[in-house]
Amino acid sequence: MPSSSFVSPIAGVEARLRNLLPSDLYAAVWLDPSTTTLNRVFEHLRTLQRILGDYIARQVLEQLPKPGEIRYEWQEGTLMFTDLAGFTPLMEANSGKGAAGAQNLLRVLNNYFAGMIEIISKSGGNVLEFTGDAMLAQFPSDGKGRDAGRAVRAGLRMQRAMASLGKVQTDSGELTLGMRVGIHSGRFLTAEIGTPKRMDHVLLGSAVRMTKRSEGAGTVGRVCLTAQFQKRVATDFHTEPTKEDHFLVIDDLSTSQLGEFDLSVSSRKISGIPLLDRSLEGLLGSINEALERVEPMAGYLPTPILNLLVESATTRVVRPDFPNATVIFVNLMGLSEIADEIPSGEELPLITDFSRAFTLINATVEAHGGFLKKVTYHLSGSDIMIIFGAPQSHTDDLLRAANAALSIRDIIATLQLSDIGGKAIRPACKIGLATGPSFAGEIGEPRGRREFNVLGDTVNTSARLMSKATDNQILISDIVYQQLGTAFDYEALGVIPLKGKSQAMPIYALKKK
């Protein structure tokens, strides 16, 4: 007797649905591929499209690449970095209160971020990313130079808003949050890099690094400008010089002169997917259309975060938490610094090499059980933030992270790069690793631009350790050294002061056994 078999109606799309459906819905549609269940699948994908859209910068969202498509372009405009000061005491005031404390901290943070994002949007800017408690925003050039003034007015409005947003009542009394704002403008290279499984949107070039430097050279409560940028806006804003060849804007504008907005806020909403035919064939066609829209967006999220959003899509509840997280910061040097030197039309080798480095680093991080949050920016090179212990944790996250850091160093040391612009590129890295109490949750506008983020002193310590490292060195805190024990070799570097720390701390270099 000939054998017989049943082919599910969703067999053609099953592989594409595996990572985009919650576990119960995946099982339901496989066991019962009826029109009722297929309709649930379609509605879930339509919801997921909206959720993922809030996690992605508008520039990417408006022209999504195909999964794994590497592309790049030069852009001009004004960039703004912000950094929040005073978060650690606020976290400490809430961390002992469990879930209630986490919810309260999330409310305070999202009140701050939502206020800042609204001002940036009304001033003609877009938020590109969140890293820790910092933001990067872009004010695209309009060809008439008005992006510069919009950015400065946005910064002044944001600092004025901190008068109310920065006052937080706690059981221990009132705490004050402050903010630094740095602004610069110029030409920079933007690129989509990675694989279909994991993409990222990056900015390369000196204009990005100079913007970061202006934030670091600034003062809490003020807007800081590079000397080059100050010349662009000198006739419209009064400034005073700093000790580091930067300028602080003097806020001497009246309320009417500053105003509340420069542009009406355009909606971030993306077009929905219509469902006109509820037959089996019609539903399958609509599911295919939904997948075409959702898959490119899903690639921009780390796998653990995508899984979290997929499973919580129905309730839209991602609960904040105080995990004991391990954070790695990697400063990748040798690639982004040469973007401005490349002759026009010869950028592809740089972008391809950067994509290769990102892909290999992301792969080893995922293999060790962590996730690569984002490629962000440093005074030299590009920074990569890596998290272990949130949103999913293992009993040996610190050991996993240490092994991942050593693997990343080896990857960068042996990376085969193109000769770009006739120059042989020699990549190097600096790595910092710290562990401790952190705060994790969906940070940003609760119903708008937001990202899953990890914040706290552990994040700051990791970044400070990275900045102190020499080329291809991994620095760890004393707590990490004590907890790792005899699993590795170390070099004691003594008690070293770190920026933002009231006391110097013992620091060690991590080495293979």
The model's confidence at residue 339, banded by pLDDT at 50, 70 and 90, is: confident
With tokens 């510069």, the residue in question is 148
Q: How far, in Å, CA of 355 to CA of 125, rounded?
A: 27
DSSP 80-110: EEEEEESHHHHHHHHHTTHHHHHHHHHHHHH
Length of the chain: 513
The string of pLDDT tens digits covering residues 464-511 is: 999 999 999 999 999 999 999 999 999 999 998 887 777 889 999 999
pLDDT > 70: what percent of the chain?
97
Q: Comparing 305 with 380, which gets the higher pLDDT?
A: 305
Instruction: Give the containing element (helix H, strand E) for 287.
Output: helix 280-298
The model's confidence at residue 267, banded by pLDDT at 50, 70 and 90, is: low
With tokens 């909206």, the residue in question is 50
Tokens coding 165: 């947003």
Domain ranges of the chain: 14-57+269-300, 66-258, 324-511
Does residue 1 surpass a pLDDT of 60? no
pLDDT > 90: what percent of the chain?
77
What is the CATH code of the structural domain delimited by 66-258? Answer: 3.30.70.1230
Are β-strands 223-226 and 178-194 bridged in parallel, bridged antiparallel, or unpaired? parallel
Asked if 150 and 174 touch (Cβ cutoff 8 Å), the reply is: no
Q: Give the helix ranges, DSSP H, for 96-222.
A: 98-122, 146-165, 206-216
Q: How far, in Å, CA of 330 to CA of 328, rounded?
A: 6
The domain covering 324-511 belongs, at the CATH homologous superfamily level, to Nucleotide cyclase, GGDEF domain (3.30.70.1230)
The string of pLDDT tens digits covering residues 192-237 is: 999 999 999 999 999 999 999 999 999 999 999 999 999 999 999 9
Q: What is the mean pLDDT of residues 80-101?
A: 92
Instruction: Give the containing element (helix H, strand E) for 180.
Output: strand 178-194
Asked if 402 and 487 touch (Cβ cutoff 8 Å), the reply is: yes
Asked if 42 and 147 touch (Cβ cutoff 8 Å), the reply is: no
